[in-house]
Structure 1
Amino acid sequence: MCSERVLLNKAARGCRDSLRRVYETHKDHLLTLARGLCGDRSMAEDVVHDVFVAFARGLPELRVKTNLKSYLSVSVCNRVRDLARAEIRRRRDPGRVDPGPADMVAPDIRVADAELTGRLRAALEHVPLDQREVLLLRAQAGLSFEEIARHQGISSNTARGRYRYGINKLRSLLNSEWER
């Protein structure tokens, strides 16, 4: 099995098989992360597609300082954040037309097959985006608080605090849901 670095070097030189292997290795994780952030499978697929297109285009100049999974996970978070900002701008100025996926209507929560998964996704929607990002980067991407802090430009204590507040918010939302 080729190392990540070898795959990246081959992909940067135009090897489609190497790029496909990178995609196949990381797509499921990134789709799960994107779905957790935006709550919509179709939008999550668009986000992952956008991230991989940008990744493929930038490969010759790309310098990954962490592992590729972390890099791509942060790219997904950044893309979702960009879409959220574009949606806010669109709502403020309804006459404005933004190009591309940012023009999409805010996503509805799709009911998951498993009741618990559906409730968790619904609860995640009510967790502030900055806390949700930390929760998902920690749980889905396996990043340390220091890595999350570095990628978000915050202190590791702030990352820990956002994680703690996010967990508490989830607990509160899920407990109130169970009490009904």
Structure 2
Amino acid sequence: MESDPLSHRLYATHRNTLVSYARRLCGDKGIAEDLVHDAWLLFHRQNNAEILAPLSYLKTIIRNLLFDRRRRSTFESTTDAPFEQAIGNVEVTSASPERDVAARQIMSRVMDAIDAMPERQRKAIRMYHFDGMKLREIAQELDISVALVHKLIADGVKICMQIRKEEL
């Protein structure tokens, strides 16, 4: 491998600073040393003549290597672990049964409110929010202006949001 004076000088001059930086990020001196070494190897392989702030760039490489290491560690801890242990690492995102019931009740009230709206407004809201149609397509279908479609939908959404706020 060719000698690169800039990367060698940078490593020799700032090694302790970089190890200290990495240690603050990960909390372990051994891992910090590994991160700095791996970062320098990556930096050394690149054409670093174009890098304006090499020390900052090295710190970015160190931080990214640490993120990769953590991500890999989390993945590895779940792939070989028994199901019960792996499931403990998965974040629970579902709401409680009570919140599920409350959300369904709110949705039911919102759907009842939409059904009670004037026919043109009800159709516009359903076409836009449920069928995924664009405003101009709805305007064409209902034979009204795009501005009126927008107003019908906006007014309907205000009613739905008011119902939602009342329930919360």
Greater RCO structure (CA 8 Å; 6+ sep)? 1
- Which TM-score applies when normalising by structure 1? 0.41
- Quick check: which has more Rg, 1 or 2? 2
- Greater helix content: 2
